[in-house]
Amino acid sequence: MPELPEVAAAVRRIRPTVRGRRIVAVEPLHAATRRALSPAARRRLAGRTIVDVARRGKYQLLVLDDGTQLVAHFRLDGDWVVQGSAAPLPPHARLVLRLDRDRSLVLTDPRALASVTCYLIPDIGPEADAADLTPDALLERLSGTRTAIKLALLDQRRLAGLGNIYAAEALWRAGIDPRTPAKDLTRPQAAHLLRGIRAALRDGERRAGRYRTGTRTAPFKVYDRAGAPCTRCGAEIATLTQGGRTTYWCPGCQRP
Ligand SMILES: [Zn+2]
């Protein structure tokens, strides 16, 4: 039975070959691996790059570039075989990861007891604070829906990381009415919005998350400032309800 030294050795053995390689296809060859890796999970895994191979106890972790982890446990007889893509599969192959540059990683297991679990990160959009996010990419993420821009910003499948506070702050900075249909956003507005998102998040980082609701002087431009004067145009900050949550905004200087 593989114990820690064997598992550690397996990790050391496959790491140089599989790290940095892209998964081209996932082929479960046994009922258990088919159950563990649904067709949807297999589609999600294909195209991802293996950024590291690690070990935790007797579990082996293939860490992918989107944060997803493929966790394998050898149980009694499991093992990895690394081979050329065209080579015939070894006996008792239970799972094949077809990799780029003509390699395959094969889980072999005579008794079919080895387990594979896939911990998928939910299908979310690009990070709101990604340095390489462009106005065009942001526009594309947001433009596919008629929903109000504020709600589109909260939709993590479109853009990951923004919540009620920073969506409102970003829209104020960009001078965009939160009710504007997302599909009506223009390219210049997307550029303003991206700058607004970055500025709002930078401000938040400076506060290092110390803000709590109900603080007497809200450190924000609009959030939690209903009735107070807008620092840009002097109009009263107002609220409206969107998706069951309160949106703070300035009717004076946020335009459709
Ligand atoms: Zn204003």
pLDDT digits (tens, 9 = 90+) for 60-109: 999 999 889 999 999 998 999 999 999 999 999 999 999 999 999 999 99
pLDDT at position 21: 97
In whole angstroms, what is the distance from residue 219 CA to residue 194 CA? 21
Task: Name the active-site residue from 2, 48, 221, 225.
Answer: 2
Task: Tell me how far the alpha carbon of residue 239 lies from the centroid of ligand 1, in angstroms.
Answer: 13
37-46 per-residue burial string, b: 16 or more CB within 10 A, e: under 16: beeebbebbe
d(CA 243, CA 150): 9
Please report the pLDDT score of residue 213 as a whole number: 61
What pLDDT does residue 206 have? 82
Q: Domain limits of the chain?
A: 4-119, 135-249
Q: Which of 107, 40, 100, 22 is nearest to 71 (CA)?
A: 107
Mean pLDDT across the chain, nearest whole number?
92
| pLDDT tens-digit readout, 184-235 | 999 999 999 999 999 999 988 887 666 666 555 568 999 999 999 999 999 9
Q: Tell the CATH topology of 4-119.
A: N-terminal domain of MutM-like DNA repair proteins (3.20.190)
Distance 217 CA to ligand 1 centre (A): 18
Amino acid at the residue 199: A
Q: What are phi and psi of 6, to 5 degrees?
A: -70, -40
Question: How far does the centroid of ligand 1 lie from the alpha carbon of residue 126, in Å?
Answer: 29
Query: How far is the C-alpha of 101 from the C-alpha of 112, rounded, in Å?
Result: 28
Please say whether the structural domain 135-249 has been given the CATH code 1.10.8.50: yes
